[in-house]
Structure 1
Amino acid sequence: MENLSEMKILSTFEALVRDSILIYGPHEKIEKDYEGYPIEFRICPSLLKKPPTVGALLGASFNKGRKWGPGSDMYCPDERLILAKINNTHDFALNLFCVDKPQFILLTLDSYKRQHQTLDDDDFVAALEVLRHLDNIYIIFNCSENGGCSRVHKHMQGLRGPPKAFELFTQQSGNGASKVPFKYFMQRFSQALPNISASDVLNAYGRLLESSRGVLGLSQADDTCPHNVILWKDTMIVIPRRKGHFEQASANAAGMLGSVWVAERSTVEDWMRLGPRIVLQELGVPYSGL
């Protein structure tokens, strides 16, 4: 990734938007504070073209390119999307459906790896490599459908940070009642993540994941522990998840931290009707218990 500059990335991004390969368009922001929890709704009509759930099909125009490997449910309609290969384990690419300019995807070259599987050492090596070369990017991982994923080929995403509500998480413990409406587990490192070894991050992740299993009532025998991971600056946050959707409202890792992406204003109205804090408690684990 040494030769990958932000100018080069933006130039490629803009060219792919002009060529209608990459989907990015005008969007509206609605920012509010809900009982101390800030949320930014980003209404992006272009997301109507994005498959909303696992198994949903891409539009015919996106199926013109090759699949991202024989076991993949993702397509690569243009090789310019691929910005770099990392350690012969991951492709670092521009996301086909962007809410940020730019937005990244980091997906396994082994296209049979699945999104319900937990992160491993190769994943963290690749994620930390991205964080070393690009400032102001945070990494998210949505483990399983209940964690908010819509594609099963194992991948992480990179977005411009920080997430809207991030500071609330670092200002208090995740083990007691707080302005954060759901349980979470956090590791703050002594240095910025790019300076930490992947093995140390993996070990911390294992501890936080075990805590997540505990609040979800899962054992090691359970194959899947639905959860979200957020990597930003010197912090890793793991959020145990019960659901991917509550009625018409849904959220991935970014959404749980207050950066909610929707295709239509009606979805924001659904959040308002249900109550944002109630939605987040239903998607995660409320402090009052399961």
Structure 2
Amino acid sequence: MGDVSEENLVTTFDKLVSEGVIVYGPSTSVNIEDEGYPMEFRICPALLTKPHTVGAANPAFNKSRKWGPGSDMYCPDERLILTQLNGTHDLALNLFCVDRPQLLILTLDSYRRQYESLDQDDFAVMLETLRRFPSMYVIFNCGEKGGCSRLHKHLQGLLGPPYAFNYLINAGEDKKKVPFQYFSRHLLPGFKEVSTSVLLEVYTELLSRCRKVLGLGVAESCPHNVIMWDDWIIVIPRRNGITQGASANAGGMLGSVWVTDQSAVEEWTRIGCANVLRELGVPS
């Protein structure tokens, strides 16, 4: 990854924000606890310009180059690309951000799709990113029901920790404390030393459990979320990407929800945050 460090990540990020390349603005936080589950809503009006659903257009970027043939992601400035990872992925700064900074990791094969499961190449770059940037966690939103808004296969790096991470991990065997079903594994000897092959084996096992609760066959695409943070991998089966206007990706399932205005928070609380998570995932 060359000289890409957390320090020069922020420097590059700030420069591109100042030039209007990266969409980023101030946010306010609203913290809520529902049925014991902690939620943090980050209200960021700048996200109004972000396409939130697959196929949604953005007039501000429609003339920008796409991230390769077959891609539905925009690259309006080559400086967004930080480096290439393992000859399989681009490491880039995300175009629409709430965190400072926020990473995007895209397959160089721009015909790869977000409804595909993760493979060994994906895990190799996930581990490399986590090792280089220990303040970040990595997420994957598999399919529209998993909360993705673009179909070009990609991962994201966000500033940790996920808001409800400790609550979810500390629930232990009492899984009913969490509104939705999830499968997790504490990786030993941790991200610094675990091999991609072992990580892929663990993921494959957890994904098979997702398929089982969703009633899906081995050959069917399985909507799910993956979160990697603090030597843990968490895999969440998903039934819906949105319910009654409330939506969440992998970060949102772990309590970190980004919205554009206060009315979205009010809608979540009207439905009940725990109820939203049950509908998006599989009730515990």
Pick from 182, 185, 189 the counterpart of residue 184 of structure 1.
Answer: 182
Partner of 1:250: 247
Show structure 1 runs of 5+ residues with no match: none
Within the alignment, does 1:67 sit opposite 2:66 as a pair?
A: yes
Amino acid in the other structure paired with 1:273? R
Tell me the residue number matched to 1:15: 15
1:266 aligns with 2:270: no
- Find the counterpart in structure 1 of residue 200 from structure 2: 202
**Shift, 1:221, TM fit:** 2.9
Name 1:133's counterpart in structure 2: 132
Deviation at 1:63, TM superposition (A): 2.9
Q: 1:232-279 CA deviation, whole Å, 9 max, x = no partner?
A: 021000000000000110000000000000112111111011000000
In 2: Cα distance, 1:177 partner to 1:67 partner: 42
**Range that drifts further, 177-186 or 207-216:** 177-186
Residue equivalent to 1:172: 171
How much has 1:129 moved relative to structure 2?
0.7
| TM-score, normalisation: structure 1 | 0.96
CA contact (8 A) 1:63 1:77 kept: no
Contact kept, 8 Å, 1:2 with 1:133, in 2: the verdict is no
Question: For residue 39 of structure 2, what is the aligned residue in structure 1?
Answer: 39
Number of residue pairs aligned between Structure 1 and Structure 2: 284
Cα deviation digits, residues 133-187 of structure 1 (max 9, x gap): 112110000000000000000000000111000012221336x542210000001
* Structure 2 counterpart of 1:263, one-letter code: T
Residues 32-82 of structure 1: CA deviation (Å, up to 9, x unaligned): 2212111000011011000010000022x3234311000100010001101
Q: Secondary structure at the match of 1:66?
A: coil
CA distance in 1, matches of 2:236, 2:249: 10
Picking from 254, 272, 276, the partner of 1:275 is 272
Displacement of 1:191 after TM fit?
Answer: 2.1
Q: Which residue is 1:86 aligned to?
A: 85
The answer as to 2:157 corresponding to 1:162 is no
Aligned to 1:219: 217
Task: State the identity %.
Answer: 57
Q: Which letter maps to 1:109?
A: L
User: Could you list the runs of 4 or more consecutive aligned residues of structure 1 that deviate by over 6 angstroms after TM superposition?
Assistant: none
Distance 1:179 1:245 in 2: 22
1:92-141 per-residue CA deviation (whole Å, 9 max, x = no partner) reads 00000001000101010000000000000000001111111112110000
Judge conservation of contact 2:171–2:178 (CA < 8 Å) in 1.
no
Distance across 2 between alignment mates of 1:214 and 1:74: 32
Distance in 2 between residues matched to 1:125 and 1:194, nearest whole Å: 12
Residue 62 of structure 2 aligns to which amino acid in structure 1? N
Gaps of 5+ in 2: none
2: CA distance, partners of 1:228 / 1:247: 20
CA–CA distance in structure 1, aligned partners of residues 238 and 207 of structure 2: 11
CA distance in 2, matches of 1:16, 1:178: 44
Q: Distance between the aligned counterparts of 2:172 and 2:283, measured in 1?
A: 15
Give the superposed CA RMSD: 1.1
Tell me, yes or no, if the aligned pair for 1:116 and 1:152 is still in contact at 8 Å. Answer: yes
